[in-house]
Chains A and B, each alone.
Chain A
């Protein structure tokens, strides 16, 4: 039916559309001055055209009735602010080259008229698209008249008429989000609660899917930082998002709706965010100091300058001691040159340790621990200590986040359920009534208190994990404090009065650069097997936790009664086998307590034990390097 070549798109914007709609529609239908037909002050040519069309209509009703084109298809139902399509066809012995149409929109006393021509395509068909706006079209009746222009043309026998309904009446179908992937082939961004956080300065391909295969095409609209960018119709729901040159905090909103039977369904919206602030560490930049250039560019100049200065000072001291016969100064110079050599040796040792850390395969470590990495998908063969530690933290953060999101949602559900109130009239009349009321689910208020507590502790766990992530980025990456602590510390420990402080700095630097990622990598290797079957997605009692968490915002949807008529299994489990009466389904908190316990282990207990070990090492190392570290203060960070 659809003839793309002859399709004519008409913008119905003008004075009754909002500015945004105007901009939107201009982008969809670029030559609006030519195609728009409803304006506050229609152009004189348009007036003339409409009158001509109507005159032709009247005249042709007498002359060309036999070869009249007819409206082949038009929507029985149209919706506000949604495009719909009208098709014509001329049958019989018609030699038409185009169709002339006239449209009348009538709403109460307001009547608007318009018209235009569209070329005929194959099978003598043509079509055009019209988009109503809320102000004008809702509740209006639309009448369409058609002529076939050319020899043997005629007018349609009767107009096609239909009514425009509110958008809320539209059918409940919409496309689903499919994927988003950078065009440069780098790691795909992941979707979380219809929101993609941390997209970079690059181009992306965003796909929606049509699992039922029901849509003729898709309307996709893009906004950037809340401002309209473009909208268009696509045969497949794939759209390119250009974020090259994006500033920090830039956000995109992409809305897609499917078009079926000439009517448009509701939109599926996806949010895309670039990092909010450069003040927040970016895990993507958490590269270890494995590139020799990093050391050459950052360490060597500082250390070379420091060591050269020290050598000059020591040489001067030795010269003075010899020339002025100051033996104590000579002894001092010899001692210091020894310390300088020791500092250089420490530097060599640290460089070697960095090499060990950079070349150590986390997958090999997992094999030593008897862990099949492929089975759990957190750490892979070939991962370095740093990448393994980041993956482990991301896994823990994701699981804890799912728990908090799930609890938040359940808090909302419980709050709504608890307000359910049933009135049971005992006697009612015209002038009065009596009876009683009951809120059978008001026990959920009590559960809300417990859930609040759980939300608080899980938020604490999440903060702890984020603290660990930021600590890792702060201490252990090529842009972290390591590059400050170690070289400065080595130079300082070569200076007599600063030896203690320098030794402490070097020890902290080594402890948190070499050991901390290794410790986190060990957690990433060892914990997932223990959590198999107990993570937030699969824990007994809420198998669909992730799905619920991802649809957290649906809690404010209109289908509110489903919260007690269609409860997930989690609620039903509260009853257990003791009571078959399903009246008092309520939430079962046990799985949430279980999940919180698992989060406690991965967010607080094991990390604390690891920090105890690391601090023990730092204290020892500081003593060897001639420094002293107050370990209890470091532990206090936990």
Chain B
């Protein structure tokens, strides 16, 4: 047996040095975020397996498999580099997210009365955006809370929760309105004499609004489903993307037969943890300028308000319908008022006037249709599709960079 047979090849030496380096650096890894030790361990396991396999192959003189192990070692080094990039990049990404919302790490302050609060830097999102405020209207970027909400995932969760509350409220408004429409449209009159007579559903024209309201509720409900699904996915990403999926992906990527699967899992975990919440923030930032409070600096739109009980078309009904008389109802079935009915229909389906003030104005008389369509279709459904598309695109791109081929559009089709 020749002595040089036991000499490690340069690549293998490099690999073992890398393994030793990882082990020696592990205290600093463990001192970092709670998910990083799992990644370190995920790298160590295949490194040890490869080293043992190399020893065995060298001892048994199975030269045929040495090249295979060299390739595996090279891939493990590449995987380790990817892990290091992820660990380093995560901090950079979170700092970037923090600067996006807080603008040069400064506080926006409470309230939203001024377009340009004095002494503040320029945040990339609107000053008075809902995104800058947490529950109860408290600003997210105070020196105390700035660090906490620099995590885009937590931030996206807050934004999503607030959007869920808004959509739920819109659904409740629409349901109550629908109940009133149903009651109003059912009022009918009858008159009979000696067993013969007539009946007339003089208010049934109000029923023509049922279809649009049903569609509206359906759109809002579908939007709510999407937001709730995002909520679960955000929770999934927060709990498992880095602590379970990423280490699992790294281990699998280190093995030859599971390399592409590992790359796929890494891509999905990173997309869920980083791109998904960021896409939610991006979509909200796009929509926010049209919806909330005062306009952002430089914005050319007056923001749309939400539909509330006060700006829905009112339907007059007695408090207790069992004891009501025809005069209590807005519609008298024997003498239905055409103009009264039309004003209600226009309240739902009103077109914008020449100056567009009815469309984008924030007055109680503006069309609720535009508000609701914006909330249901644009903000919730369209932006939801945008979020999913961005997430899937990133998963595909990251997966491709890691050597995986992902048919992610199968997931996209589900939406």
A contact residues vs B (CB 8 Å cutoff) = 368-370, 418, 421-424, 426, 431-447, 449-450, 453-454, 522, 526-527, 529-531, 534, 573-576, 578-579, 581, 583-584, 586-590, 593-594, 596-598, 600-601, 604-606, 608-609, 611-617, 619-621, 624, 631-632, 635-636, 638
A369 and B244 in contact, given A450-B217, A576-B169 (Cβ under 8 angstroms) = yes
Residues of chain A within 8 A of B232, CB atoms compared: 530-531, 534, 597-598, 601
A594 and B228 in contact, given A446-B214, A578-B176 (Cβ under 8 angstroms) = yes
Residues of chain A within 8 A of B191, CB atoms compared: 432-435
Tell which of B232, B256, B260, B405 has the most Cβ of chain A within 10 Å.
B232
Name the residue on B nearest A426 (C-beta).
B326
Judge whether A437 and B176 touch: CB under 8 Å.
no
Q: Does B408 contact A (CB under 8 A)?
A: yes
Residues of chain B within 8 A of A612, CB atoms compared: 264, 406-408, 410-411
Contact of A620 among B235, B239, B261, B318 (CB under 8 A): B261
Judge whether A450 and B172 touch: CB under 8 Å.
no
Residues of chain A within 8 A of B361, CB atoms compared: none
Judge whether A613 and B264 touch: CB under 8 Å.
yes
Name the residue on A nearest B209 (C-beta).
A446
Name the residue on B nearest A615 (C-beta).
B407
Q: Does B181 contact A (CB under 8 A)?
A: yes
What's the nearest-Cβ distance from chain B to residue A580, in Å?
A: 10
Judge whether A432 and B217 touch: CB under 8 Å.
no
What's the nearest-Cβ distance from chain B to residue A424, in Å?
A: 7
Residues of chain A within 8 A of B256, CB atoms compared: 624
What's the nearest-Cβ distance from chain B to residue A518, in Å?
A: 10
Report the Cα distance A583→B210, complex, angstroms: 19
Judge whether A588 and B172 touch: CB under 8 Å.
yes
Judge whether B260 and A589 touch: CB under 8 Å.
no
Report the Cα distance A612→B407, complex, angstroms: 7
The A/B interface has a contact count, at CB < 8 Å, of 232
Judge whether B224 and A438 touch: CB under 8 Å.
no
Judge whether A574 and B172 touch: CB under 8 Å.
yes
Judge whether A529 and B333 touch: CB under 8 Å.
no
Task: Identify 19 residue pairs between A and B in the complex whose beta-carbon atoms are under 8 Å apart, listed by A's number.
Answer: A369-B239, A424-B325, A433-B191, A438-B186, A438-B188, A440-B183, A441-B183, A442-B182, A446-B181, A446-B214, A526-B244, A574-B179, A590-B224, A593-B224, A594-B225, A594-B228, A597-B228, A612-B407, A616-B260
Q: A426-B326, A527-B236, A624-B256 are in contact. List 14 more A-B contacts (CB 8 A).
A: A438-B321, A442-B183, A445-B182, A446-B181, A446-B182, A450-B217, A530-B236, A583-B317, A590-B221, A593-B222, A598-B229, A609-B411, A612-B408, A616-B406
Q: Does B162 contact A (CB under 8 A)?
A: no
Judge whether A453 and B260 touch: CB under 8 Å.
no
Name the residue on A nearest B411 (C-beta).
A608
Residues of chain B within 8 A of A369, CB atoms compared: 239-240, 243-244
What's the nearest-Cβ distance from chain B to residue A537, in Å?
A: 17
Contact of A446 among B178, B197, B235 (CB under 8 A): B178
A616 and B261 in contact, given A526-B239, A530-B236, A590-B172 (Cβ under 8 angstroms) = yes
Q: Does B218 contact A (CB under 8 A)?
A: yes
Contact of B333 among A436, A624, A631 (CB under 8 A): A436
Q: Does B44 contact A (CB under 8 A)?
A: no
Tell which of A423, A435, A436, A587 has the most Cβ of chain B within 10 Å.
A436
| Binary flags per residue of B215-241, CB closer than 8 Å to A gives 1, else 0 | 001100110111111001101100110
Residues of chain B within 8 A of A434, CB atoms compared: 189-192, 197
Judge whether A578 and B414 touch: CB under 8 Å.
no
Q: Does B320 contact A (CB under 8 A)?
A: yes
Report the Cα distance A573→B175, complex, angstroms: 11
Contact of A431 among B179, B194, B329, B408 (CB under 8 A): B194
Tell which of A368, A438, A447 has the most Cβ of chain B within 10 Å.
A438
Judge whether B186 and A589 touch: CB under 8 Å.
no
Report the Cα distance A616→B193, complex, angstroms: 78
Judge whether B214 and A579 touch: CB under 8 Å.
no
What's the nearest-Cβ distance from chain B to residue A477, in Å?
A: 23
Judge whether B265 and A450 touch: CB under 8 Å.
no
Judge whether A443 and B178 touch: CB under 8 Å.
yes
